């Protein structure tokens, strides 16, 4: 059988899981109780399938280094990684079209894509592998294959697939796709036994997929091909990075693969499966993964409860006490606290929309922000000052840069720092410091073998992260791609 290439789609903002999921570190990078992220679990599940030797990941350009960090922790086999980097989000149809064109050019017409969202959880991997085997057989015969989850409740938050006739090769024809139903319709679907939850996973042979895209959604395919033709590729030690052209990719219709192709094609089949699937779409679904106490509460962190029922409390860093409450979701992070009615967890997205409308950074960034060289945490800020804790990995370096409106004082807490400050180039050891005046070009790097930890004190009229002129950067960042340190 032809090559199977998992294609992980790591997009979306996960707004219903704020304040843990944010635009610069969205839902796929959330760590579950076992310490693994949803992206890592998806990667491991896909690469445990037979004969998988490489993985395609489609993600946003700004998530490149966070994605690589996650993969480094778990890619023990050293599987080949192809990262297709979107300059902007255009939904799943353009993303899958680009992946198919890339696979055609690199691996041939008969290669098969196993398209997997990065933020779903599947607990029965044996059943998943069996479903993939059936799907591959159907895909080899020219079918566009989707996976349908056997429903366990009358769920109104999912789309449905109405099944048709059984196929001799396994699976069933698709009679139609159904939008998210009302409660009465969802109950009818559950009782009738002919409807499955639409999981948004697919097995697609490249030649068939591209032919059907040309017939059903030529504008999607045209924009995908143009953006890939104008892309810039870099073959590194860890992976192939392909940066899609911003102008061409922005012309792609913002449309899902379901609307663009699956609902229009006559070649669609579905593989029904019971695989322990959870799309982790809200705090309500996430809490289902944790055990409950006798009062129906799920807690993470140090929590003291008195007369509390059916609450989810997530506070890994701060003690929480609760008295006399019920049916609440409480999620505490260093810079934001969520309190919600347990039955209205879907409405958390409205908080994110309001933060975005106000220009508040909390919709996009955590207090600790990941960067390709390490991370920084804002400890405190006020009028004309900001204090950060900066961690630089061994061998890593910030860009050579300059600020117009702020000066910086650097104090080494641990490790060794190499500093470029104007015309000077020198080393700083633990407990040593230096002052960077506004307008001075400067760079911080870690020449040692342990993490460099330092405190940065900023002062000036304007302390925004966009006050930066970048001269050189070993990670290829520019002011257009990522206007931050």
Span 150-154, average pLDDT: 94
The pTM is what? 0.89
pLDDT score at 483: 41
Domains 4-278 and 368-472 share a fold: no
Span 402-408, average pLDDT: 96
Summarised one tens digit per residue, pLDDT across range 428-447 is: 999 999 999 999 999 999 99
**How far does CA 418 lie from the centroid of its chain?**
33
- CATH code of the domain made up of 368-472: 2.60.120.10
Cα–Cα distances (Å) from 363 to 23, 98, 351, 366, 378, in that order, read: 7, 29, 9, 8, 16
pLDDT-derived band at 478, boundaries 50, 70, 90: low
What are the extents of the domains in the chain? Answer: 4-278, 293-353, 368-472
Instruction: Compute the distance between CA of residue 310 and CA of residue 292 in angstroms, rounded to an integer.
Output: 9
Summarised one tens digit per residue, pLDDT across range 82-118 is: 999 999 999 999 999 999 999 999 999 999 999 999 9
pLDDT score at 480: 44
Report which of 336, 332, 339, 342 is spatially closest to residue 302, judged by C-alpha positions: 332
Judge: domain 4-278, CATH 3.90.550.10. Answer: yes
Span 118-129, average pLDDT: 96
What's the start-to-end Cα distance of the chain, in Å?
47
Q: What is the DSSP string of 355-410?
A: HHHHT-GGGT--SEEEETTEEEEEEEEETTEEEEEEEE-TT-BPPEEE-SSEEEEE
pLDDT-derived band at 72, boundaries 50, 70, 90: very high
Span 306-331, average pLDDT: 97
């Amino acid at each position: 059988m032809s090559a199977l290439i998992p294609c992980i789609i790591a997009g979306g903002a996960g707004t219903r899981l704020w304040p843990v999921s944010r635009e610069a570190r969205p839902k796929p990078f959330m760590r579950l109780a076992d310490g693994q992220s949803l992206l890592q679990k998806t990667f491991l599940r896909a690469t445990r399938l037979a004969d998988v030797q490489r993985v395609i990941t489609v993600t946003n350009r700004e998530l490149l280094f966070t994605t690589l960090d996650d993969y480094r922790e778990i890619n023990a086999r050293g599987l080949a990684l192809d990262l297709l980097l979107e300059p902007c989000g255009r939904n799943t149809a353009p993303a899958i079209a680009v992946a198919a064109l890339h696979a055609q050019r690199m691996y041939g017409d008969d290669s098969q894509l196993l398209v997997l969202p990065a933020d779903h959880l599947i607990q029965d991997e044996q059943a998943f592998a069996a479903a993939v085997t059936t799907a591959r057989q159907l895909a080899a015969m020219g079918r566009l294959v989707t996976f349908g989850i056997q429903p366990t409740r009358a769920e109104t938050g999912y789309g449905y697939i109405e099944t048709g006739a059984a196929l001799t090769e396994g699976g069933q024809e698709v009679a139609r796709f159904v939008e998210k139903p009302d409660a009465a319709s969802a109950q009818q679907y559950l009782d009738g036994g002919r409807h499955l939850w639409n999981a948004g996973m697919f097995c697609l042979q490249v030649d068939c997929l591209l032919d059907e895209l040309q017939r059903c959604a030529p504008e999607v395919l045209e924009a995908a091909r143009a953006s890939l033709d104008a892309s810039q590729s870099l073959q590194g030690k860890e992976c192939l990075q392909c940066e899609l052209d911003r102008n061409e990719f922005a012309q792609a219709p913002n449309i899902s693969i379901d609307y663009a192709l699956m609902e229009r094609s006559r070649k669609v089949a579905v593989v029904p499966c019971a695989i322990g699937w959870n799309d982790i779409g809200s705090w309500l679904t996430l809490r289902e993964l944790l055990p409950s106490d006798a009062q129906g509460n799920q807690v993470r962190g140090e929590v003291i409860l008195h007369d509390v029922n059916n609450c989810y409390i997530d506070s890994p860093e701060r003690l929480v006490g609760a008295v006399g409450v019920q049916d609440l979701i409480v999620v505490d992070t260093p810079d934001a606290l969520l309190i919600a009615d347990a039955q209205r967890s879907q409405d958390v997205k409205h908080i994110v929309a309001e933060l975005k409308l106000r220009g508040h950074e909390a919709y996009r960034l955590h207090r600790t922000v990941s960067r390709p060289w390490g991370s920084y945490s804002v400890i405190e800020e006020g009028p004309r000052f900001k204090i950060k804790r900066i961690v630089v990995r061994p061998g890593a370096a910030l860009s050579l840069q300059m600020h117009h409106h702020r000066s910086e004082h650097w104090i080494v807490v641990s490790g060794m720092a190499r500093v470029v400050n104007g015309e000077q180039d020198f080393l700083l050891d633990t407990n040593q410091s230096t002052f960077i005046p506004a307008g001075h070009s400067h760079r911080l790097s870690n020449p040692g073998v342990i993490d460099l930890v330092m405190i940065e004190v900023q002062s000036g009229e304007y302390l925004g992260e966009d006050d930066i002129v970048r001269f050189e950067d070993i990670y290829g960042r520019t002011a257009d791609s990522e206007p931050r340190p």
